[in-house]
A and B are shown apart, each in its own frame.
Chain A
Amino acid sequence: DTGVSQNPRHKITKRGQNVTFRCDPISEHNRLYWYRQTLGQGPEFLTYFQNEAQLEKSRLLSDRFSAERPKGSFSTLEIQRTEQGDSAMYLCASSLAEGGNQPQHFGDGTRLSIL
């Protein structure tokens, strides 16, 4: 169990630029989640995959955001035309699907700063 890996750890970019983050889940986990965490808040759910299928998207996920998990393994989260309000920590988590009560294991996140 090597844990959930996220890259990069930090990203600084200018407003209006596009950014892409990567998440590598724990290898046997077929569920993958993206969350956003702003200062002083708990993580907020963005989207969820089971294998390669994106099964739910939060209303927080505007049309500038897109997430993919093309082969059911790693996932990417892209933000287009970044805005100041996108500055946050983006967290990825993974879990097993079997049993319906498997806890989510989190990566260390990607901190995005918009200049």
Chain B
Amino acid sequence: AQSVTQPDIHITVSEGASLELRCNYSYGATPYLFWYVQSPGQGLQLLLKYFSGDTLVQGIKGFEAEFKRSQSSFNLRKPSVHWSDAAEYFCAVGSGGYQKVTFGTGTKLQVIP
């Protein structure tokens, strides 16, 4: 069965600092990987996705993620965090076919001035 681990429940960074959110997945075949962001009381917005090809993927809002098969990881990065990035971030893995998606438990990001 596919699964996702996000080891950090909460992360606090200063505005302007760099950010890396960790994600490890478990899946038998080539995974489809996603990062979503959720603001309080809202649905999930897709930041970026990896299906194949270049292992460094660019997303919206200046985010990027790198797929590392050897480490079963798909970490999310941003070089300079803005206060508006404070939200909860979910890593997810999808299977082929109808794209059943399994989410991690999320990492809540706090940005301090």
Residue positions of A touching B, CB distance < 8 A: 4, 6, 31, 33, 40-45, 48, 50, 55-56, 91, 93, 95, 97, 100-109, 111
Contacts and interface: CB of A to CB of B under 8 A. Distances in A.
Contact of B98 (A31, A43, A103): A31
Interface string B17-49: 000000000000000101010000111111001
A104 B96 contact: no
Contacts of B98: 31, 48, 50, 55-56, 97
Contacts of A56: 98, 100
Given A4-B43, A108-B43, A101 B99 contact: yes
B105 A106 contact: no
A21 B103 CA distance: 22
Contact of A42 (B41, B51, B92): B92
B74 interface: no
A108 B44 CA distance: 7
Q: Report, nearest first, the 4 A-B pairs whose CB atoms are least far apart.
A: A42-B103, A106-B43, A108-B43, A106-B44
A5 B44 CA distance: 13
A95 B102 CA distance: 15
Contacts of A31: 98-99
Interface footprint category on B = 20 to 34
B101 interface: yes
Nearest to B34: A103
Interface of B: 4, 32, 34, 36, 41-46, 49, 51, 90, 92, 94, 96-106
Given A42-B103, A45-B102, A100 B97 contact: yes
Given A48-B98, A95-B99, A101-B51, A42 B105 contact: yes
A50 B100 CA distance: 12
B99 A111 contact: no
Given A56-B98, A56-B100, 13 more contacts: A41-B106, A45-B100, A48-B98, A50-B98, A95-B99, A100-B96, A100-B97, A101-B99, A103-B34, A104-B101, A106-B36, A108-B43, A111-B41
Contacts of A105: 46
B79 to A, nearest CB: 24
